[in-house]
A and B are shown apart, each in its own frame.
Chain A
Amino acid sequence: MTETEVAALTRAYIVENFLYMRRDFRFQDGDSLLVSGVVDSLGIMELVEFIGAEFGFEVDPAEITEENFGTLAGIARYVVAKRACTGTA
């Protein structure tokens, strides 16, 4: 699975679950999810749960960093790398 595919799946999840009240809101893959108010800290946890279930691995709490979960692009990079090293790719 490519970073583009991960980003697209994750974006669809975010739009449905976090942006249902802001349908005209647009964000780029590199925009900060937290600073732009797309998700809050509990939302990040929900996103972590989705990522683990959708892409078939367990997220280590130490990996819940701004680099890995702060942007859609960061999530895509993290997921692809994680799948490569856990053999789920």
Chain B
Amino acid sequence: MCGIAGIARREPRGTCAETLGRMAASIRHRGPDGFGLFLGPRVGFASVRLSIIDVVGGAQPLGNEDGRIVIVQNGEVYNYIELRRELEAKGHRFRTHSDTEVLVHGYEEWGEAMLGRLNGQFAFVIYDRRSERLFLARDRFGVRPLFYAVSGGDLYFASEAKALFASGEVEASPDLAGLDEVFTFWAPRAPRTTFRGVSALEPGCCAVWRDGRLETRRYFDLDYPEAREEPPDTLQALDALMRTGVSLRMRADVPVGGYLSGGLDSSIVCSLAAAASPYQLRTFSVTFDDPGLDESVHQQEVAAGVGSLHLVQPIRRETIAQVFPDVIRHTETPLVRTAPAPMFLLSRLTRDNAVKVVLTGEGSDEMFLGYDLFKETAVRRFCLRQPQSRSRPRLFDRLYPYLRREAQGGELWRRFFLTAGSADDPLFSHQPRFQLTARIKEFYSGDVRAALCGFDALQELRGALPASFGRWSFLNQAAYLEIVTLLEGYLLSSQGDRMGMAHSVEGRFPYLDHRLFAFAASLPTRSKLRGLHEKAVLRRWAAGKVPPSIAQRAKQPYRAPDAPTFFGPGRPEYVGELLDECALARTRMFDPQAVAGLVRRCEAGRATGFRENQALVGILSAQLWHHEFFERPQTPEPIAIDRADVVLREVDPVGAGPNPIPSGARG
């Protein structure tokens, strides 16, 4: 795991160590263990490294035997040992034991087709001097980020957008369509970002930059070839996939820990990790003062069961407000929930305890239909088939047992779900969420409304659905939408990579092993959601592997306090400063009078519903984001070249025979 950045010039006018050093400095938190540069007339790379595999020998950038292929990678290729054996058998010679070098030789041997062989979470860029082209790729689910921009005919890329701006050659300005997607889906949908001119390489995609042009193509498609019947060996197959999925992700030359939420998914992962670990597993959890959010009883039960050394990060209401500006600096996008903030604090605790790799349970709910949204979709369809039925809508009362009693139940609550969209709409499953989130747009300023005139995030999403979408069952359609709207842009990014890497902690996701996805996607949906019983097949398999109370525990979504954290005792000064009329008039995103009404309600403690809570978080985070990136952009001091562990220089033209690139500095 690392941070990467680089520049590819259309004309060979050189790349500058200082510019690359500045880009690297802006993402130093991603890789505090090492720094490296590649400098050429056309292409320059920078890498900040978090050493996990081949701690000593895996410095980056890294070249092949003759120096004609150079790579920077952020992430891990878990099956690198098997791939290396295969490549060695074909005559490739390796200089290191790192997974990154496997990509270099794999690319030489298989070209772009290498991507289909990789099991991992990665974003990498290869400079192929033979063809003067850059090859960029990102893992199937978008665990690791990769942003790019084209400016002045040159390509800039980096693990975080702030590194593009640190080059001084890419301008930072807001993309209001990206903002509107945050206030629809919770996150911008790749390739769009919240910065104009900055794109995210889509998950499962690769791109080639040559002669000043970037061509992107998809190498991995989400597909749901659902079987009619569950195969008889399903549990054995799931067992093998879960065990190998975890053991592959235990590959590291440093200790691997686990994030433990107290739910089924992370409990399974920690249980398997503890069994596979050569040392006592360390597990990490957040706990909340609010008993409605806290899961510490279940966390302790699992930790005791797997015998882990368990460490806890208590989250008080005011803590979230204290770290929220730092959180937004790392997410680089506004949020509609504060839930990433506890993850920011958890990664700090993890790092303080000398663990820089953790396994987590993300991805299971998307693979095995764990979210309440899937049940809600099933109930809504069931009700709409007999609109006159008075008994069917009562099923809605069983969907959200963890919400405040007064927030749910009753005729009016049911009515919300039944009027939230037509069953013919491909976005039917997500309309309640999209409609609820979009209520934040009622606070838009006139300027933003005018600028967004004609933009419809939902219509764009409908237009981007794959041709096969219509052939999938309605629950698989919902699972697909969940992955492309929430998993990639929010859970793996704002709540995942960015919060972990803020403190140099790498998250690993066994449920996002592409083999497990293929397995789950081919199961009949009733194997996953049986009636209103979610993750049925996973629970059947998990029986006996985790405590019975955990195996049968209903899903409790991870949540954190929202608006109250910003209006309680010890309220930070920035809240008032950023929500006052002058600040709002300056950023021109929201109507100051409307925001004043919201602040008044929050201060009176009356903002109790989703609608006002998410509006407060959305508006405040957008103000922080604006302040951070457009009003007071930082220009970091570059990491000096003499601090580099490795400096590669492109010294002579390709075609003059083998050309080992000399290492400089301390490399």
Contacts and interface: CB of A to CB of B under 8 A. Distances in A.
Contacts of B408: 41
Given A21-B598, A34-B416, A42 B411 contact: no
Contact of B406 (A16, A35, A45): A45
Contact of A70 (B407, B412, B442, B608): B412
Interface string A10-23: 00000011001111
B96 interface: no
B443 A66 contact: no
Interface string B608-623: 1111000100000000
Contact of B442 (A16, A21, A69): A21
Instruction: Give the size range of A's interface with the partner.
Output: 20 to 34
B406 A22 contact: no
B598 A45 contact: no
Given A42-B407, A42-B608, A46-B606, A21 B416 contact: no
A21 B609 contact: no
A41 B407 contact: yes
B413 A41 contact: yes
Question: Which of A40, A66, A70 has the largest count of B CB atoms less than 10 A from its CB?
Answer: A40
Contacts of B442: 21-22
A87 interface: no
A86 interface: no
Interface string B392-413: 0000000000001011101111
A20 B412 CA distance: 22
B645 to A, nearest CB: 53
Contacts of B443: 21
B609 A43 contact: yes
Contacts of B173: none
Given A21-B442, A21-B591, A45-B406, A69 B597 contact: no
A64 interface: yes
B593 interface: yes
A42 B610 CA distance: 8
A16 B443 CA distance: 15
A65 interface: yes
Contacts of B439: 37
A44 interface: yes
B601 interface: yes
B415 interface: yes
B412 A69 contact: yes
B609 A17 contact: no
Given A66-B411, A66-B415, A70-B412, A40 B594 contact: no
B422 interface: no
A34 B419 CA distance: 10
Interface string B421-457: 0000000000000001001001100000000000000
A41 B396 CA distance: 13
A17 to B, nearest CB: 7
Given A40-B609, A40-B610, A20 B416 contact: no
Contacts of B609: 40-43
Contacts of B413: 41
Contacts of B416: 34, 40-41
A41 B606 contact: no
A41 B412 contact: yes
Contact of A34 (B412, B593, B598): B412
Contact of A66 (B407, B412, B591, B594): B412
A65 B609 CA distance: 19
Given A40-B609, A40-B611, A46-B606, A21 B594 contact: yes
Nearest to B608: A42
B415 A34 contact: yes
A42 B406 contact: yes
Given A40-B609, A41-B416, A70-B412, A23 B593 contact: yes
A40 B414 CA distance: 11
Interface of B: 404, 406-408, 410-413, 415-416, 419, 436, 439, 442-443, 591, 593-594, 596-598, 600-601, 606, 608-611, 615
Q: What 10 A-B pairs have minimum CB-CB distances, sorted nearest first?
A: A20-B597, A42-B609, A21-B594, A41-B413, A21-B442, A45-B406, A42-B407, A21-B443, A66-B411, A44-B412
Given A20-B593, A41-B412, A45-B406, 9 more contacts: A21-B442, A34-B412, A41-B410, A41-B413, A41-B416, A42-B404, A64-B412, A66-B415, A70-B412
14 contacts: A17-B601, A17-B606, A20-B598, A21-B615, A40-B609, A41-B407, A41-B609, A42-B407, A42-B609, A42-B610, A43-B609, A61-B410, A66-B412, A70-B412
